[in-house]
Structure 1
Amino acid sequence: MSVSTGHQGGQVTPDDGTHPGAGRRGVSAWVSLRRTLFLILFALAGAAGNTALASVTLQQQWIPISAGLVVCFAFLIMLALLHRAWWLTVLSLLPSLFVLVGSVQLGPEVALEARGVRESVVVVADSAAGTGSNDHRLTLRTEDGQTLDEKFVYSGSSGYPEVGERLDILRDPDGKVPMEQADQVDASGERGTLIGGVATWVVFVLLAGWRGHVRRRNGKELKDLPTF
């Protein structure tokens, strides 16, 4: 508790913290800038690292998915702490999804475009036929009558290729990347999704750094939703 230099009736009065500006404390702009730059570097490194991880774990997609979720969650928490408010964190959920999807899918899409073999096939069997299951493992036969050992996997209750339907697929001759329908392989689209998500992250970090510095200078703390 500080003592005010003002006098009321000739007596010194204590400052109980209710005076305007009593809760304010100085905040270094350099410290706020360093925090902002750190989070930008974390966002860039996290997205790049998860993309690289997905490229070397092509047969275990759960690994980059799990790592990507950790990166996105850590980013959201640090963004809230930097901003000292929650609304930017809520808005960051959508670009975080873009970063997650783009970083996980870019590696396999690039691999299929680079070394994938395009083939015209026909669906000859569906493991989910008559079972009511939404997990379809489709057996495919090429134009020369060869039945592929690899199954085309589709999860969903609608839109799946039916028995007798003809497809154009891209498959990895090494079997490291799951096959996909040729018209759905779009590495440039996944790259755009990833870049768009990361760019939005950077913009939000810059805004959070500025707003957070102002809030710290005014003595405002991180509170429950909604906090603006």
Structure 2
Amino acid sequence: MSVASHPPTPVVVAGARPALWSLVLTAVVAGLGLAVIAVNTLVGYLTVGLSQAVPICLGLVGCFAFTVALRLLHRAWWLAVLSVVPALFVLVGSVQLAPEAVLQERGVAQQVTITDVQTSGKRHEFALRSDSGPLDEPLVYQGSAPDYRVGQQLTVLTDPRRQVELADAEDVDAAGKRAMLVFGAVGWTLFALLAGWRGHVRRARGRQASAPLPLPY
């Protein structure tokens, strides 16, 4: 008499579903960071010639959103707070890249001499004069201790379309701003991976602590 065989019982890998869910959440947070960088950089290019308040405000909102998402993923604040460091590189790079790239691509270099300065609070406007006459656009410096002085000679870059303010040629570094964006993107991605791993471990420990005790047989 033959005994009917039963179908094999499927083997369920413990923790496979939570691990997959943590991986998905980590990818979403990392993708959010890259999206913030891409969108804010694009907005910076689209608003060239307008106020930089738009990419600055949008960048601040994006950085805050990434910080909150990182905290939810990690289930702790300390890693989210540390992510502010690459966030500064993201904000500065995405806001400053467009105007500096424009000046490097189509800017006209001119040798000028500072002839006068007007100060209003921390805003300093330096009047400039080239060999062909005075420039109708000042060199603006925001800060309490400018490195410029009357009589100083320097090279500035001016935009023929007048969409971007003239700037000291030594301060224009589009490649440096791209490097800042890369550093910010790498930093945010590493933080997302670390937060995803630690958050998964913390959630797993919470599930183990709340799991019911097995019944004795």
CA deviations over 1:69-113 (Å, ceiling 9, x no partner): 000000000000000112211211111111111111111111111
Mapped pair 1:49 → 2:36: no
Task: Report the counterpart of residue 119 of structure 1 in structure 2.
Answer: 110
Structure 1 CA distance for aligned equivalents of residues 16 and 110 of structure 2: 66
CA deviations over 1:174-222 (Å, ceiling 9, x no partner): 11111111111111111111110110100110111111011111118xx
Matches within 5 A, 1:23-172: 28-58=18-48, 59-128=50-119, 133-145=121-133, 147-172=134-159
Structure 1 CA distance for aligned equivalents of residues 143 and 81 of structure 2: 29
Task: Report the counterpart of residue 19 of structure 1 in structure 2.
Answer: none
Matches within 5 A, 1:163-202: 163-202=150-189
SS of the residue corresponding to residue 127 of structure 1 reads: strand
- Identify unmatched segments of 5+ residues in structure 1: 1-24, 221-228
Structure 2 CA distance for aligned equivalents of residues 156 and 211 of structure 1: 41
Task: Report the counterpart of residue 12 of structure 2 in structure 1.
Answer: none
- Normalising by structure 2, report the TM-score: 0.84
Structure 2 CA distance for aligned equivalents of residues 26 and 219 of structure 1: 16
SS of the residue corresponding to residue 219 of structure 1 reads: helix
Instruction: Name the aligned partner's letter for residue 185 of structure 1.
Output: V
Structure 2 CA distance for aligned equivalents of residues 134 and 184 of structure 1: 19
The structural deviation recorded for 1:124 is 1.7
CA deviations over 1:30-77 (Å, ceiling 9, x no partner): 211111111111111110110111112123111101000000000000
Instruction: Name the aligned partner's letter for residue 123 of structure 1.
Output: I
SS of the residue corresponding to residue 206 of structure 2 reads: coil
Residue 79 of structure 1 contacts residue 205 of structure 1 at CA under 8 Å; is this kept in 2?
A: yes
- Identify unmatched segments of 5+ residues in structure 2: 1-14, 208-217
Aligned-residue Cα RMSD (Å) equals: 1.7
Structure 2 CA distance for aligned equivalents of residues 68 and 156 of structure 1: 22
The structural deviation recorded for 1:134 is 2.4
Residue 95 of structure 1 contacts residue 197 of structure 1 at CA under 8 Å; is this kept in 2?
A: yes
**Percent pairwise identity:** 47
The structural deviation recorded for 1:27 is 6.3
The 4+ residue runs of structure 1 with deviation greater than 2 A are: none
How many corresponding residue pairs?
192
